[in-house]
Amino acid sequence: MSTAHCPVLLIAAPASGQGKTTVACALARLHARQGRKVRVFKCGPDFLDPYWLTLASGAPVHQLDLWMTGEADCRQRLHDAALDADLIIVEGVMGLFDGEPSAADLAQRFNLPVLAVIDAGSMAGTFGALAWGLQHYRDGLRFAGVLANRVASPGHALMLQDSLREPAQWMGAMMRSAAVTLPERHLGLVMDHELGDALQRLDAAADALADTPLGQMTAEALQAWAVTFESDPAAGEKFPADALRGQTIAVARDAAFCFLYAANIDCLQAMGAELVYFSPLADSELPACDALWLPGGYPELHADTLSANHAMKASLINHVQAGKPVWAECGGMMTLFDQLVSTSGAIHAMWGVLPGRVTMQQRLAALGPQQLELAGGVLRGHTFHYSTCATALPVASRTQAAPGRTLRGEGEALYQSGSVRASYFHAWFASCPAATAQLFLKDSDD
């Protein structure tokens, strides 16, 4: 058993869309520019925020979730980060008390100080009531303070500050500014590499935060938020080191296939796999490989390009006809069907590996933590998509709700056709490495 000690701040909010990511990025960028080592984590399943948090901190960003990744994984990652970091930032998910488990659950489990970010653009005295409620709604929550976001003016900021019952909780105000806004679309934030001014936006946010009490805290002052983490290496996840030894897995990675957990990459490599990356948008064929992973992403935004890449389609079909494994998640699965129908009704021919079509919708089709039972064990993960699928393929199995949760309707279908397995389900590989290995091994059974 070993211990590590480091200042930590969990950045939460009363709801989604309050500016948690902007503030987390600003704080990370501000301290990284000052030469400090900053490690950032994202609470809950999220593929998009970590792109921005990685750019801001200059270090890989992993997920923390008491169910999906597990308490032992959370503890070990926090401990390891605390060994050499000057500051750890954890960005919450949704509202502070939303979800099972919630960001508040994570904060209480590890005694993490909580900073509440509140979009105060349309409020005055109610700001104080909301801050008081977030601090005192649950006993035992370690509260670091509150920061007002999207504030109209210095005068408005004074009104907000005066509304607090505990003046020491005031961590400042971020003024409303298009320069620090991180653009969004239907699945969340636009990725940083899609914008030519991503780093400039983060620098602008860091500059704005530098004018607040939060941004002006010294390294010594941050020690007020220090947390001690314990580690028990014997309790850590045991990866079967040779499960994928000698296997080369081709991983789709570009603007259309970008929903990749860093921990999933680590898991495959820990089991001995060699990973090679390719772009279905730009490349004409698969790299030499034994198995293929098509992660989620935005195929609907690049449907014309994907449809026109006939050489890649032929290469992928050859891979399937050779009986080589394919694991396709959400957006990866969408491209395997015959057609993709956009929200405007435009029909795009896809790769035709699986019969049927997927249709984009304006409204969310499914969201939430789920698990998938395979012969090798149970994989934890989640689902989040705006499309629906119509296919004649039989359903090999379905996901189940996470313990303590209830599904609305049926779980996500797992389709199997020859060596192809596909589902809307996003898997957290480390939750069951043995089951994960089966997804990428030829002739493995469900």
Q: What is the pLDDT of residues 133-144, one digit of tens each?
A: 999 999 999 999
| pLDDT per residue as tens digits for the range 36-77 | 999 999 998 888 888 899 999 999 999 999 999 999 999 999
- Is-contact 83 4, C-beta < 8 A? yes
Tell me the helices (H) and strands (E) count for the chain, helix number first. 13, 27
Integer Cα distance of 220 and 314 in angstroms: 60
Query: Percentage of the chain surpassing pLDDT 90?
Result: 82
Give the residue among 306, 315, 376 at the shortest CA–CA distance from 348: 306
Cα-only R_g, the chain: 23
Q: Which one of 198, 233, 268 terminates a domain? A: 233
Q: What percent of the chain has pLDDT over 70?
A: 94
Q: What is the pLDDT of residue 61?
A: 95
- Select from 233, 256, 275 the last residue of a domain: 233
Within-domain flag for 238: no
66 and 145 share a domain?
yes
Output the average pLDDT for the chain: 92
What's the rounded Cα separation, in Å, for the pair 143 and 224? 11
Residue 214 lies in a domain: yes
Same domain, 285 and 371: yes
Q: What angle do CA 280, 281, 286 make, to 5 degrees?
A: 25
Is the preceding omega at residue 101 within 30 degrees of 0, hence cis?
yes
Same domain, 215 and 301: no
- Quick check: 210 and 30 in contact, CB under 8 A? yes
Per-position DSSP letters for 232-288, written without gaps between them? -GGGS----TTTTTT-EEEEE-BTTEEE--HHHHHHHHHTT-EEEEE-TTT-SSPPS
Same-domain pairing of 144 and 89: yes
DSSP 134-152: HHHSSTT--EEEEEEEEE-
- The H-or-E segment that residue 57 falls in is helix 49-57
Distance between CA atoms of residues 3 and 13, nearest Å? 30
In a domain? residue 446: no
Structure confidence at residue 149 (pLDDT): 96
Separation in Å, CA 45 to CA 99, 191, 252, 289: 11, 16, 20, 29
Q: How many other C-beta atoms can be found within 10 angstroms of the C-beta atom of residue 370?
A: 26
Please tell me the distance from the alpha carbon of residue 358 to that of residue 335, in angstroms, as a whole number. 9
Over residues 83-116, the pLDDT tens digits come to 999 999 999 999 999 988 999 999 999 999 999 9
Domain-located, residue 241? no
The CA-to-CA distance between both ends of the chain, in Å, stands at 38
Which pLDDT value is given to residue 4? 94
The confidence score (pLDDT) of residue 177 equals 84
With the C-alpha atoms ordered 262, 59, 109, 106, is the resulting torsion angle positive or negative?
negative
How many domains does the chain fold into? 2
Residues 285 and 382 reside in one and the same domain: yes
Amino acid at 248: T
Quick one: 218 and 114 in the same domain? yes
Same domain, 209 and 261: no
Would 445 be classed as within a structural domain?
no
Q: Tell me what pLDDT residue 370 has.
A: 94
Q: In this structure, is residue 239 part of a structural domain?
A: no
Q: How many residues does the chain have?
A: 446
Span of 73-87, 229-243, 285-299, 315-329 with lowest mean pLDDT: 229-243
Non-local CB neighbours of 99 within 8 Å, separated by 6+ positions: 44, 93
Same domain assignment for residues 212 and 326: no
Let me know whether 267 and 187 are in one domain.
no
Residue 191 confidence class, pLDDT cut points 50, 70, 90: low
pLDDT exceeds 60 at position 428: yes
Residues 67 and 192 in one domain: yes
d(CA 173, CA 148): 5
The pLDDT value given to residue 186: 47
Domain hosting 51: range is: 2-233
Burial class (CB in 10 A: 0-12, 13-18, 19+), 221: exposed
What token pair was written down for 302?
């690049």
Query: Are 226 and 289 members of one domain?
Result: no
Q: Strands 420-423 and 413-417: what pairing?
A: antiparallel
| Bigger pLDDT: 268 vs 196 | 268
Last residue of some domain: 181, 203, 233?
233
Rounded (10°) angle between helices 126-136 and 154-162 = 50
- CA 225/CA 205 separation, integer angstroms: 22
Any idea what the CATH number is for the domain that residue 191 is in?
3.40.50.300
Say what the pTM is.
0.91
Judge whether 352 lies within some domain: yes
DSSP assignments along 105-127, one per residue: HHHHHHT--EEEEEE-TT-STHH
Closest alpha carbon to 439 in 290, 307, 322, 230: 290
Q: Summarize pLDDT for 330-354 with one digit per residue, the tens.
A: 999 999 999 999 989 999 999 999 9
CATH of the domain at 326: 3.40.50.880
Is 275 domain-assigned? yes
Best CA proximity match to 107, nearest among 121, 97, 117: 97
Per-residue pLDDT, 204: 92
Q: Mark whether 181 and 119 lie in a shared domain.
A: yes
pLDDT at 241: 84
Contact call for residues 10 and 115 (beta carbons, < 8 A): yes
> Residue 382 CB: number of other CB atoms within 10 A?
24
Residue 197 in tokens: 């001014």
Residues labelled catalytic: 330
Highest mean pLDDT among 6-10, 179-183, 186-190 belongs to 6-10
**Averaged pLDDT for residues 423-436:** 95
Alpha helices (H) in 139-197, listed in sequence order? 154-162
